[in-house]
Structure 1
Amino acid sequence: MIKRIAVIVIIAVITFGMVFLIFRTPDSDMTDKQAAKQPRKASPAAENKQVPELGVNGMTLDEKIGQMIFSGVNGTEMTAETKEIIDTYHVGGIILFGDNIESKKQTVSFLNDMKAVNADNPFPLLLGVDEEGGSVTRMPDAVKSLPTSRSIGKLNDPDTAFKAGTILGEQMQALGFNLDFAPVLDINSNPDNPVIGDRSFGSNPEVVSRMGIQTMKGIQSEGIISVIKHFPGHGDTGVDSHLELPKVDKSRKKLSEMELVPFKKAISKGADVSMIAHILLPQIDTKHPASMSKKVITGILREDLGFDGVVITDDLTMEAITNHYNVADAAVQTVKAGGDLLLVAHDPDLVAAVFNKLKAAVENGEISEERINESVERITRLKAKYNLSNEKTSVPNVQSINDKVEDILQKVSW
């Protein structure tokens, strides 16, 4: 009898141990410490005003279309123009650039004022910035910037990449942003590329995938939305899309062997938002750049790679678009192709044009309201997932974050 009881106890202990290990084992790409770090929970105030996840049924067409626009603004403080963008056009998000950012206090105040203007909207604003580190940094002087992605890629240390991501997330949280247009998943395969260069983690698809995914996970772990970019890959271009429309003359098979590798892996690891580049891929779509192409957005990104997150365009005011298309027409074509968010970053006057053109396209039957609903559901689902709120941010003490940046700077200088 004693032996029988002992056997039962041993079996129970082994079974419990196996179950414990199954539920404890982290993602194979993450360290134990990384796996234990969960996304930051919303504050009680934010939870009390949780974003309605799928609110399309209670929204007007104007409100739906507004959610699909991610606008830039002028100046460094609230103006009548910015108030109109939020109040009248119900924009889903606002991006700030270096010209909009002067100091910690000013940045926090500006973002708080936007939240206050948007307070009656059940869907808080996406508040984003291009913060990659290196040459693409928007941080005020008091906040230290991370080194280039290339320097982190050279270390090829997943833990360092994850820490860099958490720092980016902490910087966003501290200033009041909730979205970072990072990391760059482009493979720097063309040494003559004038726009990617050291913004990439390197020329090796596996290194770019590994470092990029860990950076993405680090950003997400701080409760900040990460945007992977620039799908389907801007690394093998010889033209800056800010100035002209680049062309990548590669087949779908060639893209899958290089450019698409990091994006495919990031999607499998939980990417929430993907930015589409203004790149012409003549072997896939001879007429439209990737940002306006149904073959790229719906065919490759959604159907082939299984991405059901939010698709945002690169800035529609870049000359890759404006040299060849009317911005409002381009926006309509992007929605037809399957895009969700339309980035109108450098000309707030164009927000009205995009809004009106898109509304007219729905009213005249060019785009169905069901198609609009699909995008709005993705956008509001994203806002609900990250518990966005209009809660104000206090001016932060960033010394502890700066110390972490300094640690990374020391590592890459070895």
Structure 2
Amino acid sequence: MQAVTTAAPTATMEATPVQTDASSPTPPATESPTSVATPIPTQKGDSLAQTIAGMTLEEKLGQMLLVGIDGTVLDANAKKMITQDKVGGIILYAANIKDLKGMVSLVNSLKKSNSTNPVPLFMSVDQEGGKVSRMPAEFAKIPSNGVVGASNNTAAAKTMGTLLAREIRSAGFNMNFAPVLDINSNPDNPVIGDRSFGSSASKVIKLGIAEMQGIESEGIVPVVKHFPGHGDTSVDSHLELPVVNKTAAQLAKLEWLPFQAAIKADADAVMVAHILFPKLDLNKPASLSDVIIGKQLRGDMGFKGVVITDDLTMGAITKHFNLGNAAVDTVQAGSDILLIAHEYDNEQIVLKALQQSVKKGEITESRIDESVHRILALKHKYNLSDNPVPVPEITKLNSDIKAWRKSVAR
């Protein structure tokens, strides 16, 4: 998903956040929310269903959108998506981040804008290490999965996960689109390469699951990607729609194995790729396919967590499909969160398409409720909060990263 380097329950989601690497215990007063809505209760069972029953359709659909923004400061469109459309999450890319202080200020301002909404935001980022790194220059560099794969060290992969999570947690993020569970089986692949741990399923499983567990151990939501496997493509899906002519039996022997292992290890969220598998679904890529999401991922593999699309504004979708229709298709297929990484107008197209599809009966509101239930349950599990964070002191974190790098290089 990376941009081309180109009676009332008492539990809430507004609890104290996970401790960060911070130089001061509290942020500046100016960063504190001026008002906070009554939090949505998130106790398990009937109370969560009751909460959803009390939400408007617009509030529910908003929770299903995770959006990108323009620039390095909060602008009018970002504020509208949060306050009016009540989007469930934000993703920041390298273009949104100049330096540590600016990044933290932006994250805090986004959270503050959400202060009148009862559900905290997913604050997400692609922080894989290597060439897919969003953290500013103040942070010590974390090498790619390929470097860790060469060491074939499970403990090192888990430590990598904890370090990635500590980085983003210190800046106020709570979700990381990592680890990459693609197997680097095609040397001509222009988009995966050393983002993968290696060319064998066993290595990717061993190291990828360790990284996933490291990320979640620090209170960050890991999102494994890119199901059903992006390793055997020769086309970059940011630019075009890759086609992989493999049968389900062939995928089951290689590409699916890391994702099945992650599901067995209780993965919270899975990102689905924009890849056409014509021998599985002739007309729709994985990200829009009921065969691949509904029947295989949710059905055969038994995944009960949150399904997130790769960015719906990538060339693989926009060059071949109507964006509004694609949004409806992916929800019908079983996706919970739709990633719209670029342009306010695209977010509006997706939101209006979903609203119309429910009004016309193409998608039932009960289907929307299923996704919202999964989303709220995940936010509750990780005790998410919109509380601001101070600019962190990262000397210890950087020291730990450098010491870990030396251990991996041996």
CA contact (8 A) 2:151 2:409 kept: no
Inter-partner Cα distance in structure 1 for 2:320 and 2:385: 38
Partner of 2:404: 408
The DSSP-based 3-state class of the residue aligned with 1:230 is strand
Inter-partner Cα distance in structure 2 for 1:109 and 1:227: 25
Identity between Structure 1 and Structure 2 (%): 49
Q: Deviations over 1:243-275 (max 9, x none)?
A: 100011111111010000000001100100000
Shift of 1:44: 5.2
* Correspondence list, 1:98-177, <5 A: 98-177=94-173
Whichever residue aligns with residue 357 of structure 2, its letter is A
Structure that is richer in helix per residue: 1
CA contact (8 A) 1:70 1:93 kept: yes
Inter-partner Cα distance in structure 2 for 1:44 and 1:189: 44
Inter-partner Cα distance in structure 2 for 1:269 and 1:407: 28
Shift of 1:208: 0.2
Inter-partner Cα distance in structure 2 for 1:134 and 1:95: 19
1:214 lines up with 2:204 in the alignment: no
Change (3 A) 1:102 1:251: same
* Correspondence list, 1:66-81, <5 A: 66-81=62-77
Shift of 1:329: 1.2
1:281 lines up with 2:277 in the alignment: yes
Where structure 2 has 5 or more consecutive residues not aligned to the other structure, the ranges are: 1-12, 19-37
* Correspondence list, 1:332-371, <5 A: 332-371=328-367
Shift of 1:412: 3.2
* Correspondence list, 1:282-297, <5 A: 282-297=278-293
* Correspondence list, 1:244-263, <5 A: 244-263=240-259
Inter-partner Cα distance in structure 1 for 2:150 and 2:359: 52
CA contact (8 A) 1:186 1:200 kept: yes
Shift of 1:46: 5.1
Shift of 1:408: 2.6
Query: Cα RMSD between the aligned structures?
Result: 1.5
Partner of 2:42: 52
CA contact (8 A) 1:149 1:198 kept: yes
Partner of 1:97: 93
CA contact (8 A) 1:146 1:408 kept: no
Inter-partner Cα distance in structure 2 for 1:387 and 1:138: 24
Change (3 A) 1:97 1:413: same
Inter-partner Cα distance in structure 2 for 1:380 and 1:126: 10
Inter-partner Cα distance in structure 2 for 1:146 and 1:171: 10
CA contact (8 A) 1:50 1:384 kept: no
Partner of 2:192: 196
Inter-partner Cα distance in structure 2 for 1:123 and 1:148: 34
User: Would you identify which runs of 4 or more consecutive aligned residues in structure 1 move more than 6 Å?
Assistant: none
**Greater shift after overlay, 126-135 or 139-148?**
139-148
Inter-partner Cα distance in structure 1 for 2:40 and 2:200: 41
The count of aligned residue pairs is 373
Partner of 2:7: none
Inter-partner Cα distance in structure 1 for 2:400 and 2:236: 33
Inter-partner Cα distance in structure 1 for 2:16 and 2:377: 19
Whichever residue aligns with residue 359 of structure 2, its letter is E
Partner of 2:21: none
Whichever residue aligns with residue 381 of structure 2, its letter is K
Inter-partner Cα distance in structure 2 for 1:178 and 1:82: 19
* Correspondence list, 1:1-80, <5 A: 45=16, 52=42, 54=48, 55-80=51-76
